[in-house]
Amino acid sequence: MSFKNLVAKPWFLIVVSAVLSALPLTFSKLFLLSWFSFVPLFYMIFKYNDTKWRVCFRRGFLFGFVYHVCIYYWFLWFYPIDYVGMGSAASLVVVALAWFGISAVHGILWCIPLLLCRAVQKLSKNSLFLSFVCIVGIMCSQKLTSISELSFPWVRIALGQYEAPVLIQSASIWGIDGVDILILVINALIALCVVYPPQKRKIAATIAASIFVLNLGFGIIKLNTQSINGELNILSIQGSISQNDKWSSDGDRICYDKYSSLTKENIDTDTDVIIWPESAVPKVYRNEGALKQYKKLSAELDTPILVGILLRNDGEHTNNTALITSDGVMYNYAKRQLVPFGEYMPYEEALSKILPVLTELNIIEDDYVPGKDTIIMEIGGGKVGNIICFESIYPHLSRDSVNDGAELLVEVTNDSWLKDSPAMHQHLAHGVFRSIENGRYLVRSANSGISAVIDNRGRVVSQLGINEQGIIKDTVYFSNEQTLYTITGDMLFPLCCIALIVLITIFIIKRKKTTDN
């Protein structure tokens, strides 16, 4: 088969587009690839989507499955899951289920854009209209990953842009949804350049170039403006303690010795707050009063410690960050969005019977209980909002904290499970977007990386690498800036859905009038 014939095959276009679109999420230096990697998918829809429903379904699933398999291959780094006492065979089963199972579940959602395009083609085969339908369908496929007890909205198209903050400042207007849509719009316009006649081709190319330049210009302007209101000197500790040590019977002592030692070696009189990562206190305490050695350390250093702890009150486990001073626990924030299979068992009754091996994944015997409140902490003359690990992939949680008064965001996380996989950078990328969306500095304190300070324009100004042991000592700034995204939230996608419904209604009315005549 010649290359020309191969390129004409829908399955080839789908696979190429899926692989190219996945690459920037693993290799962030390839960020420009996202701006044209979806072109083969759009071209295939324009040329070949007028076919049977089941064919559209297969093509959508093929794209989604290949796309997610190429991104989620970092699940391989989980093997073996011996820190919870799981054997090699069971670990292999769980890793395979996670990699291929989640790729399949999220992949099947990518049938939505192709099926939507197939559904509206009887109303109009206009390529511009089909582009809009496809974009709404793709956004829908991404949004659906955040619902149900299996919620896991890890993959977003825009994440591959996190090292190019000049291109993603529009997240301050429409959030990460806006950047996703912007990338898809330019991809669709490039695809239209291929199928349009010469005159229209020039128009599509001009519009695509204009949108890209305008977005770039907005980014340049935004990066050269600042809005700050006071400062905070932070000392963030990255202990890089292995999972096996952390969750051993002696893990509490190991963590305390390491984190307290690094703190004492590096603290100075200017330090306003010490930050230790998620579960830096891995022992499950039954009440806050049991944290005497941490209160004593805070008194000795004359500095508050913001630390990740596990608590058990009235039989309920929570994953927390606590601000500890010599007077005790001043603030206590409980994680609001828990990790399925790691902190609680979704659909427990059914899944525990079908796949009992999954019940072994929780570090503690019982499920965690989610917190309900943002808990804004007053530290060093400013207001600090907290997110813990997995919560950084949910934009509304950071936005809620900012709307409740947070002038600075702190994310404590334990990404040791991810080892040195690409997921480490993907998780950091989410933090970059939370910073831009809300115009807030974000301090990221991780057990084994990537700890970082991200400014209120999404620039990583300091960081500690994966599995590196050390500290970040830096000055961060409070901000009262109100971005449009903080005020309005995720409004762009609903507006697009409303616009699509209106357009479809108009096409139906026109078609009915034509039929009647």
- Residue 283, classified by CB atoms within 10 Å of its CB into exposed (0-12), middle (13-18) or buried (19+), is middle
Instruction: Write out the DSSP string of 5-72.
Output: HHHT-HHHHHHHHHHHHHHHHH-GGGGGGGGTTTHHHHHHHHHH-SS-HHHHHHHHHHHHHHHHHHHG
Q: pTM value?
A: 0.93
* Rg, Å, the chain Cα set: 24
Give the tokens for residue 358. 């999954």
Share of the chain above pLDDT 70, in %: 94
Give the tokens for residue 123. 């109303």
Whether residue 287 is predicted with pLDDT greater than 80 in this model: the reply is no
Give the tokens for residue 398. 């950071």
CA–CA separation, 350 and 151 (whole Å) = 17
Pick the residue with more confidence: 5 or 280? Answer: 280
pLDDT 10s digits, 321-370: 999 999 888 999 999 999 887 787 777 666 666 666 566 555 556 788 99
- Residue 285, classified by CB atoms within 10 Å of its CB into exposed (0-12), middle (13-18) or buried (19+), is middle
Beta bridge pairs of residue 382: 379
Predicted confidence at residue 289, as pLDDT, reads 63
Q: Locate the DSSP E strands across 91-149.
A: none
pLDDT 10s digits, 403-427: 999 999 999 999 988 899 999 999 9
Judge whether 53 lies within some domain. Answer: yes
Across 305-327, average pLDDT: 90
Do 209 and 324 have their domain in common? Answer: no
Report the 10 Å Cβ neighbour count for 10: 20
Whether residue 393 is predicted with pLDDT greater than 70 in this model: the reply is yes
Do 81 and 160 have their domain in common? Answer: yes
Across 224-231, average pLDDT: 89
Cβ pair 95, 108 in contact under 8 A = no
Do 102 and 128 have their domain in common? Answer: yes
Judge whether 85 lies within some domain. Answer: yes
Lowest mean pLDDT among 73-87, 90-104, 145-159, 457-471: 73-87
Strands 316-325, 442-446: pairing is unpaired
Give the tokens for residue 159. 């994440």
* Residue partners of 469: CB distance under 8 A and separation at least 6: 238, 239, 240, 262
Cβ pair 367, 344 in contact under 8 A = yes
Do 324 and 347 have their domain in common? Answer: no
- For residue 465, the SS3 value is coil
What residue spans of 144-197 are helical by DSSP H? 171-195
Do 45 and 177 have their domain in common? Answer: yes
Do 165 and 314 have their domain in common? Answer: no
Predicted confidence at residue 360, as pLDDT, reads 59
CA–CA separation, 62 and 42 (whole Å) = 15
Backbone angles phi, psi at 169, to 5 degrees: -70, -20
Judge whether 485 lies within some domain. Answer: no
Cβ pair 310, 285 in contact under 8 A = yes
Judge whether 476 lies within some domain. Answer: yes
Across 251-275, average pLDDT: 93
Judge whether 46 lies within some domain. Answer: yes
CA–CA separation, 406 and 387 (whole Å) = 11
Judge whether 237 lies within some domain. Answer: yes
Pick the residue with more confidence: 177 or 284? Answer: 177
Predicted confidence at residue 353, as pLDDT, reads 66
Predicted confidence at residue 226, as pLDDT, reads 84
Do 332 and 342 have their domain in common? Answer: no
Judge whether 68 lies within some domain. Answer: yes
Domain range holding 347?
Answer: 337-370
Judge whether 427 lies within some domain. Answer: yes
Torsion of CA 118, 122, 127, 130, to 10 degrees: -40
Report the 10 Å Cβ neighbour count for 170: 22
Do 122 and 240 have their domain in common? Answer: no
Do 289 and 242 have their domain in common? Answer: yes
Across 445-458, average pLDDT: 96
The structure tokens 């409303």 sit at 498
∠ CA(323), CA(253), CA(325), 5° rounding? Answer: 20
Do 256 and 390 have their domain in common? Answer: yes
CA–CA separation, 274 and 441 (whole Å) = 16
Residue 462: give its domain's CATH number. 3.60.110.10
pLDDT 10s digits, 479-489: 999 999 999 99
Do 302 and 396 have their domain in common? Answer: yes
Do 470 and 494 have their domain in common? Answer: no
CA–CA separation, 392 and 378 (whole Å) = 21
What's the number of domains the chain is made of? 3
Report the 10 Å Cβ neighbour count for 6: 12
Backbone angles phi, psi at 235, to 5 degrees: -125, 105
Cβ pair 182, 215 in contact under 8 A = yes
